Amino acid sequence: MSKHVALVTGGGGGIGAAVCARLAADGHRVAVVDRDAAAAARVAEECGGLAIVCDVTSDVAVKAAVDEATAWGGRLDLVVLNAGSTGGQSGVDDLDVAAYRRVMAVNVDHVVFGTTAALPALRLDGGGTVIATSSLAGLTGMPDDAVYTLTKHAVVGYVRSVAATLVGEPVRVMAVCPWFTDTALITGFRDRLGDFPLLGATDVADAVAAMVERGESGECWFVQPGREPGPFRFRGVPGPADDAGAPPRLHGEG
């Protein structure tokens, strides 16, 4: 049997590089996708994989990357849509429209493009998995960067909805939601975090590996320093009251 094949966007550094290394160690053949050709090549060489240069904000480029990885590996089993960008603005008084469009394209559009492009291949050979990188900011409000928070909530909503749409199909769709992680992405505001503990990139990679092993479609796993990662338990939304005016039961609750 062929080894399982994984594609990781934003694989040239930070969390993406750690995920590539962990997946390779677990026996995957890994396609490392990044806009930085040198970074993609370095990580691909380290994990014995394939480097693919790609602008993930382009649906055409993302589909081409998925097709290249699938042709290279002969199959596609796992897609980790990890590429991301910070918003760097509150989106309230200081809205930079160009910057807003850019972070939406990287953090949201690429997850949609990647999922759509990968589904045909993932449906083959017994099914596959999509894991999108969200954030704890996708599960709660984060002050000072409403635009980033918006994008990560969008990823969570998309993942949960796609999983519901694909019920009965052999494809899992999940999100990983880490706390602040010690990567270049937080360089601009790391000092403002004070003494809060940070995750390491390998902590998030370990969570992704656990999700691959035992995660269920639609789950959004939190990753916090010092805690075992696991699926966030969403509270159901109130349903309509019955004719007798009884308190509504929450969807998803017994």
**Closest alpha carbon to 37 in 11, 75, 3:** 11
Query: What pLDDT is recorded for position 26?
Result: 96
Q: Residue 7 in contact with residue 66, Cβ under 8 Å? A: yes
Q: Residue 57 in contact with residue 75, Cβ under 8 Å? A: no
Query: What pLDDT is recorded for position 237?
Result: 86
Instruction: Render each residue's pLDDT in the chain as its tens digit; 254 residues.
Output: 458 999 999 999 999 999 999 999 999 999 999 999 999 999 999 999 999 999 999 999 999 999 999 999 999 999 999 999 887 778 888 789 999 999 999 999 999 999 999 999 999 988 999 999 999 889 998 887 899 999 999 999 999 999 999 999 999 999 999 987 665 555 555 555 556 677 788 999 999 999 999 999 999 999 988 889 999 999 888 888 875 655 555 444 43
Q: Is position 92 within any domain?
A: yes
CATH number of the CATH domain containing 160: 3.40.50.720
Q: Is position 250 within any domain?
A: no
Q: Is position 240 within any domain?
A: no
Range of the domain at 79: 5-231
Q: Is position 239 within any domain?
A: no
What is the three-state SS of 40-67? Answer: HHHHHHHHCCEEEECCCCCHHHHHHHHH
Please give the Cα distance from 249 to 233 (Å, whole number): 17
Q: Residue 201 in contact with residue 21, Cβ under 8 Å? A: no
3-state secondary structure of 245: coil
Q: Residue 72 in contact with residue 31, Cβ under 8 Å? A: yes
The torsion defined by the Cα of 120, 136, 14 and 57, in degrees rounded to 10, comes to 50
Residue with tokens 């749409």: 165
**Closest alpha carbon to 40 in 86, 15, 85, 9:** 9
| Residue in 78, 87, 135, 148 annotated catalytic | 148
Query: What pLDDT is recorded for position 93?
Result: 84
Query: What pLDDT is recorded for position 127?
Result: 95
Q: How many domains does the chain have?
A: 1
Q: Residue 80 in contact with residue 9, Cβ under 8 Å? A: yes
Q: Is position 158 within any domain?
A: yes
Q: Is position 248 within any domain?
A: no
Q: Is position 241 within any domain?
A: no
Query: What pLDDT is recorded for position 194?
Result: 52
**The tokens of 178 are what?**
């880490």
User: DSSP label at 250?
Assistant: B
Bridge partners, 36 (sequence order): none
Q: Is position 247 within any domain?
A: no
Please give the Cα distance from 106 to 93 (Å, whole number): 22
Query: What pLDDT is recorded for position 1?
Result: 40
Please give the Cα distance from 234 to 146 (Å, whole number): 21
Query: What pLDDT is recorded for position 247?
Result: 58
158 is a catalytic site residue: no
